[in-house]
Amino acid sequence: MNGPADMWQQAADNFDRHYRSIDDAQWTASTPCAEWSVRELVDHTVQSQAALAGALGVDVGVGEAVAAADWPTVQAAFADALAEPTLLEGDPDPDVFGGMPKHQLMGLAIGDLLIHGWDLARALGADESLPPEVVETVHLGLQRIPDEQMRGAAFGPEVEVPSDASAQDKLLAFTGRRP
């Protein structure tokens, strides 16, 4: 099994592929996140990645100005930091994300990037395939979160899919998306 750095990189590569394909007319297109356009989805994802990287002690070059983060800079800084095997070691900062352990912060970063990569692909009409191993790992992780913490703010109600649906479709349905 790949480690967190490999999984983040796979999710980042997928997101990046779609990010680089956005043309000027697509920035205002709607996304599966009903309240967000492509621009708003990308901004949210980049800002989330910058904030999570910062919580892990990664300097993505924006300081407190997370809203000013851009994807190529955040991606490069996060990827470089993940090359350091000790990044996920040590105690978390108790004032950041409620003192959440670093491996859980990394799980959030991977899941957020993976799911929003799919959202972006769907909005652009692009290939929606996600890295299978990352899909399975994220789905297992999300199933451990109590519904009352997950539904509403982060995800909508689970969508029903056939029992023989693919692992990707089951993950997407679990997060309230319609595969």
* Domain spans, the chain: 4-18+32-174
Distance CA 5, CA 9 (A): 6
Q: Is the pTM of this model over 0.75?
A: yes
Distance CA 77, CA 71 (A): 10
pLDDT of residue 1 exceeding 60: no
Of 143, 142, 139, residue with least CA distance to 165: 139
Query: For 88-120, what is each residue's pLDDT tens digit?
Result: 988 777 887 788 889 899 999 999 999 999 999
Distance CA 29, CA 124 (A): 8
CA geometry: angle at 155 spanning 39 and 149, to 5°? Answer: 130
Q: What is the pLDDT of residue 156?
A: 86
Distance CA 142, CA 111 (A): 8
Q: Mean pLDDT across the chain, nearest whole number?
A: 91
Share of the chain above pLDDT 90, in %: 69
Q: What is the mean pLDDT of residues 64-71?
A: 77
CB-CB neighbours of 142 under 10 Å:
17
Instruction: Give the DSSP per-residue string, 107-147.
Output: HHHHHHHHHHHHHHHHHHT------HHHHHHHHHHHTTS-H
Of 45, 147, 1, residue with least CA distance to 174: 147
pLDDT of residue 82 exceeding 60: yes
Q: What is the pLDDT of residue 64?
A: 66
Taken in order 5, 179, 38, 153, the sign of the CA dihedral is: negative
Q: What is the pLDDT of residue 63?
A: 67
3-state secondary structure of 75: helix
Query: For 136-157, what is each residue's pLDDT tens digit?
Result: 999 999 998 888 877 776 788 9
Q: What is the pLDDT of residue 49?
A: 94
pLDDT of residue 55 exceeding 70: yes
Q: What is the pLDDT of residue 163?
A: 96
Tokens of 89: 């070691």
Of 38, 44, 64, 53, residue with least CA distance to 5: 53
pLDDT of residue 65 exceeding 70: no
Of 104, 88, 48, 54, residue with least CA distance to 71: 48
